[in-house]
Structure 1
Amino acid sequence: MPRRWFGVLLPLICWLLPQPTLAFSVAFVNPGRHDEPYWLSASQAMQAAARDLDIELEVLYAERDHLKMIDLVRQVTARSQKPDYLIVVNEKLVAPAMLRLANAARLPTLLAYNELSPEQRAEIGRPRRQLRYWLGSLAPDNEQAGYDSLEALIAAARQRGLLNAPAELLMISGDPATPASVERLRGAQQALAAYPQVRLVQVVNGMWQRERAYQQANWLLARHPRTRLIWTANDLMAFGVRQSLQEYGRQPGRDVLIATVNNSQEVMRARIDGEISALSGGHFLTGAWALVMLYDYAHGKDFATEGLELRKPIFGLITPAMAQRYLDKFAGNDFDGIGFRRFSRRLNPTLRHYDFRFQRVLE
């Protein structure tokens, strides 16, 4: 073959061969504690996605200190060698401060788990405008999770004959500021409006804490001894309620029904055992899905074609059978078997939309 053809054929051959993807780095400011079941599982799922997608992931825990979240972003943006991308959470409404720091450092940032509040959006606008390096956001539909979990709780109460007379309901929300907490409570209250036979007697904020919810349940049950239904915004608070009920001489799942949200192995076992009567979960994977979106963005498949502020149906109602499947499939929070590459639109060109439903993960 004449040598002149090598200059033509070599680029063509290289183009036809599978092209290696370039690795990149991401820092995630985790608002939770390093040993907190939900936020630990969120980080472990992200690490599994990072391994699958060849992403270098760094997780920084704020230990439930919203001021430390801002400080961690400040530290990351001050580095001489910054990560390629940053993921932050709008816990305690501190996202604008973190996004501004990242934008000043020209560090592309994705907001995950919690959306901006309407007031925050009025303050800093939409992604890629006032803050050019704020790429967008991904949040689960927390309002739908609140709605579905409360509706499932009432359905369970009807099956047990607890609605033959007016039933009293207690609600223990998370905190009064974080969008996820506000939205879950709003969804639950919207579901409640369709059931006049269920009477809401009190709403309190358990601040996502087991011990606080336990103390609240002690005086709430003393004040409202006819309570038959309790809705909580996360599983730790449900465990506090469960302990209080047991000490009060009432059996969770029989005398009083509990609905909650989350995915810890403990709550899955409680769902199987019947101590939890309604459970919504799957949103712990939001950070992993954010990495899928960043992978696509970094490799030329901008998620902007689907929207910059995505609210996805990530939650799913979890039956006892699904809870058992979860425990069998993800023992020890090992999420490597999910196969995150199959959710990438860049790697799967036939996918028209991101499908992050929890049911797909359990398939």
Structure 2
Amino acid sequence: MKRYTLWNSIISFLLCSPVAAAQEIKKDFKVVFINPGHAQGDETGRFWSNVSKIMQAAADDLNIELISLFANRNHIQMKSLANKALEHNPDYAIIVNEKGGGIAQLKLFAKHEIPVFALLNGFNNKERESLSESEQKSLIGSVVPDNRKAGEYLLSELISLHDKNSESINLLALRGDFASAAAIERAHGLQQVLSAHK
């Protein structure tokens, strides 16, 4: 039985893209994923290693060759991994715009006419404006959660669990990094709820 996951949807989207249609949709094709995390997880957890594992399961279901390249939480290394990805001659690339490093990767893949799909951290308006028309066309899609809403929901749920008879809550928020769009948006959502519950 096939596993139906978000990754099946993403990779199915790639199959149905105009580029795939122009290539007369090969049954098998190659996708390179530049993973910002570690292959086996690290002190920050196993999130990114699990992303690659789930993506691999979807790729296996769909007869897709998936190559995951790991940056080991080093956003500078992510740039060099884009060059390494080209050595695999991928049909598609999946990238994460970690700390703004996705723009350089997107430009490089666009130069080689490789369609790009963005995951988790997308591109803001300023970043999109820095792209040429052909580079913008290379970005064929993205899956980006509503991180602001996630920050709002997290704090709202914590407040709902708090003793209503107490006047105040001692709160410590471990924000993570200060550069990724996801972390910034989650912090904004949390701050919005804080402002509403003085």
Describe the superposition over 1:64-107 as per-residue Cα deviations: whole angstroms up to 9, x where unpaired.
11111110101222x2x501110010111101100011011111
What secondary structure, in the 3-state scheme, does the structure 2 residue paired with 1:140 have? coil
2:57 aligned with 1:48 = yes
When normalised by structure 2's length, the TM-score is 0.79
Write the distance in 1 (CA, Å) between the matches of 2:147 and 2:183.
8
Match of 1:73 among 47, 61, 82: 82
Write the distance in 1 (CA, Å) between the matches of 2:165 and 2:171.
11
Query: What is residue 62 of structure 1 aligned with on the other side?
Result: 71
Structure 1 122/146 Cα, relative in aligned 2: closer, same or farther at 3 Å?
same
Q: CA deviation at 1:47?
A: 0.7
What secondary structure, in the 3-state scheme, does the structure 1 residue paired with 2:172 have? strand
2:193 aligned with 1:183 = no
Structure 1 69/143 Cα, relative in aligned 2: closer, same or farther at 3 Å?
same
Q: CA deviation at 1:194?
A: 2.2
Structure 1 contact 100–131 (Cα < 8 Å) conserved? no
Write the distance in 2 (CA, Å) between the matches of 1:121 and 1:149.
30
When normalised by structure 1's length, the TM-score is 0.44
Query: What is residue 86 of structure 1 aligned with on the other side?
Result: 93
2:156 aligned with 1:151 = yes
2:198 aligned with 1:193 = no
Structure 2 contact 110–135 (Cα < 8 Å) conserved? no
Structure 1 105/186 Cα, relative in aligned 2: closer, same or farther at 3 Å?
same
Write the distance in 2 (CA, Å) between the matches of 1:68 and 1:31.
9
State the AA in 2 paired with 1:164.
S
Structure 1 contact 99–109 (Cα < 8 Å) conserved? yes
Structure 2 contact 36–70 (Cα < 8 Å) conserved? yes
2:101 aligned with 1:99 = no
Write the distance in 1 (CA, Å) between the matches of 2:129 and 2:167.
46
> Structure 2: which 5+ residue stretches go unaligned?
1-24
Q: CA deviation at 1:108?
A: 1.1
Percent identical residues: 36
Structure 2 contact 116–139 (Cα < 8 Å) conserved? yes
Structure 2 contact 107–135 (Cα < 8 Å) conserved? no
2:123 aligned with 1:122 = no
Query: What is residue 35 of structure 2 aligned with on the other side?
Result: 30
Instruction: Please report the RMSD computed on the Cα atoms of aligned residues, expressed in angstroms.
Output: 1.9
Larger-Rg structure: 1
Query: What is residue 172 of structure 1 aligned with on the other side?
Result: 174
> Structure 1: which 5+ residue stretches go unaligned?
1-19, 197-363
Q: CA deviation at 1:131?
A: 3.5
Query: What is residue 18 of structure 2 aligned with on the other side?
Result: none
State the AA in 2 paired with 1:23.
D
| Greater per-residue strand proportion | 1
